[in-house]
Chains A and B, each alone.
Chain A
Amino acid sequence: MASPNASQPVTGGPPPIDASATAPTVVVDQFRMDFGDRTVIRDLSFTVERGETFGFLGANGSGKTTTLRALLGIYEPTAGRLLVDGQRFNPSRSQLLGYLPEERGLYKKEPVIDVMVYFGRLKGLSAAAARQWSMSYLERVGLADQAKLRVDKCSGGQQQKIQLGVTIMNQPELLILDEPTKGFDPVNRRLLMDIIGEQRQAGATIILVTHQMEEVERLCDRVLLLKDGLARAYGSVTEVQEAFGGTTVKVAHRAPLPASPDYRLVAAEGDTYSELALNPGADPARVLARLVEEGVGVSSFTPSRRSMDSIFVEIYGAAAAQED
């Protein structure tokens, strides 16, 4: 289901909950969150199906982290239901979860191995299993000889690797990554992508919060775009692209383009280059013919599928895209 109109919130409840293996891993139903007089999330509903990779997208301040915290029981919702495997999440079920929060860190003055074993134990592993897993992970990422060093003696990139290890060490069924590539160097970004791939293969359900739209197109099965606490688009990547003008055309021209019911302008560089989103039913060939007829001096005309990046810019504005 994709939102046909970006200005309308998605409504409608989630499918009925059942305990079977096909039931959604995450159900958010009519979720509202108020902080004092301020409503941060308004009646948000969506599901995350078992085994899928779900992109939870939005500009800064749109309510993504608030929703995740409410889902994980850190915040109490003002209204609505947020369920993981059919139940309200509580920390006693942390063995199911791998969570990489946006605000993240490690105990800086403790040895690497101790910190990893500590979090492993909190996630339900035995001390021996946590130690064994940690050592093999550190070996994999080339940090085996740093195991007994204090975390603050490791470089920033090494700390990111450790953080990733802590997130997945319990083989989570639900992996929530809140802006996972924020601050990551290219090496660790690649490691993260590998890890996401492995977790997907292992059958984990993944919720990915990111501003990297190319990652969304590459990794996500479905997405939800949140703006001001409302779902502005929700569905598979293709559905969302269709809803926001499935086809775009990049046009190089010499004169300004005329207005047309067949397309709308989504991006422009001066008066000589434009990116157009074709409205449903519009034929690219017909659009080209019209532009030639209008004498705008078309020098190139390249139809392509609408990028998530341009959809993001359309919803949140260029300023939001730049700050991200």
Chain B
Amino acid sequence: MLNQAEATNERGNFWTAVSFEVRRTLRRPGFWLGTLLIPLVIVVAVWAQSASMETANTRSDGQSQASFDFEYVDDSGWLDPELMASAGGTEITDPAQGVAAVQAGQIDAFFEYPADLTTAPILIAGQDVGVFESERYASVAQNLLDLSLAAEVGNPELVQLLVNSAQTETTTYRDGVVSGGVGEMVVLLLLAAVFLLPILLLSNQMVTTFLDEKENRVAEMLLTSVKPVTLVLSKLVSLIVLGVIQMVILLVPTLVVLTQTDTLNIDLGGAALDWPRISVGLVIALSGLLFYTTSVMLVGLIAPTIKDASPLLTPVLLVTIIPIYIALLMMSSPDSPIVQVSTFFPWTAALTALIRNAFDNLPLWQGIVVIVELWVVTAALIALGARIARAGLLSYSQRLNLKRVLQRPRV
């Protein structure tokens, strides 16, 4: 039992160790290089993909063939009423009436074509039918304009030029209120990305965090000043702090870019984001990071050298990113056994849950189960880490015999 002064000293040592670990990592150029390079690559990749998809979407009329009921207001005077009627459209004069009908669930969509198509966007209100399905409203609205102009002008090239200059602005509704649409999915998928970033960038540091003490022969001096459990927790907290720093570095500029740049054509500003889902995603991302960090750190406690740790780290890393490869299955068949197993297996749970959360097919109860599961398993791993820390650190260049250590009371 510690007296008050000793407990204070122990707490002080915990924060001293955390601060030492964080500061020495932040001083390394490699940390900043990796941290700043990846967001840059991602932004460039997203920009390039978005630009090409925009062109593809404009030219594709596949989605425009989809039929649904809609109302429209034509202030431009270019639309062909017969064509519009045949596509399921009803002309009205009051835009507010159209939006209200969408909100009330009476119609699927409402299009408001402005008087000057070159300066104002086509305003679209539609039922939220999923991130990808909701995209059809814009395709149909543009395609109908395309066809109407073709009949009127008779020159397809000129029409294409005109339609390409016509912008759309879509607002989707779920249960009568504005939903997030693509923007929301982007935000939620970003959480998956920010979860992956520290895993990809910090894994090596996670696994070597104790190897530093072993290889530098510092362990024994440390263990006379810091309890093993305090040492394990301080390492864990410092890695989480570094991971969160990387998350913030990725998240903030990316969100700024997404919300402020028209180039990406993603509108987050007008959407009422689903904050409960985003909060669940955030907690899953942090819980997943905590769990992953703990498990990789234990690998480092067992392995005697960096060379020995690498083969042990690879399987853990691979299992953690497996959900990326079944992402399409998560979208189409979230109830399939593979997705369900992936959702609840600790090493795949976080990323699976984050992706499913982005696709809006992760029930809240499953999200809560995943969070609780990750914390419980993390706590068990920390207890194991504290138990093997002394022997692991003092084994220096020898591989730790886990079985023998666990048989002994505390060594």
Interface residues of A (CB under 8 A from B): 35-36, 69, 72-76, 89-95, 97, 99, 101, 103-110, 114, 118-119, 121-124, 166
Tell me whether B10 and A75 are in contact (CB under 8 A).
no
Complex Cα–Cα for A28 and B217 (A) = 27
**Known contacts A76-B410, A107-B216, A114-B24: does B224 contact A99 (CB below 8 Å)?**
yes
* Shortest beta-carbon distance from A25 to chain B in Å: 16
Complex Cα–Cα for A105 and B211 (A) = 13
Nearest chain-A residue to B223 (Cβ)?
A: A74
B window 1-16: CB within 8 A of A: 2, 5-7, 9-10, 12-13, 16
Main SS of chain A's interface residues? loop
Complex Cα–Cα for A42 and B216 (A) = 32
Complex Cα–Cα for A119 and B225 (A) = 8
Residues in A with CB closer than 8 Å to B409 are 76
Complex Cα–Cα for A95 and B226 (A) = 11
Tell me whether B411 and A75 are in contact (CB under 8 A).
yes
B233 at the A interface (CB under 8 A)? no
Nearest chain-A residue to B393 (Cβ)?
A: A74
Tell me whether B217 and A103 are in contact (CB under 8 A).
yes
B308 at the A interface (CB under 8 A)? no
Tell me whether B218 and A91 are in contact (CB under 8 A).
no
Complex Cα–Cα for A74 and B221 (A) = 10
**Known contacts A75-B390, A90-B227, A114-B24: does B10 contact A104 (CB below 8 Å)?**
no
23 contacts between A and B (CB under 8 A): A36-B407, A69-B220, A69-B394, A72-B224, A74-B224, A89-B224, A91-B223, A91-B224, A91-B225, A92-B6, A92-B9, A93-B6, A94-B225, A94-B226, A99-B221, A101-B221, A103-B394, A104-B220, A106-B216, A107-B24, A122-B225, A122-B226, A124-B12
Closest 6 CB pairs of A and B: A105-B217, A92-B6, A76-B410, A122-B225, A94-B225, A101-B220
**Known contacts A74-B394, A76-B409: does B217 contact A91 (CB below 8 Å)?**
no
- Which of A89, A107, A124 makes the CB contact (< 8 A) with B218? A107
Residues in B with CB closer than 8 Å to A91 are 10, 13, 223-227, 230
B83 at the A interface (CB under 8 A)? no
* Shortest beta-carbon distance from A131 to chain B in Å: 13
Complex Cα–Cα for A166 and B217 (A) = 14
- Which of A95, A103, A110, A166 makes the CB contact (< 8 A) with B9? A95
Tell me whether A123 and B396 are in contact (CB under 8 A).
no
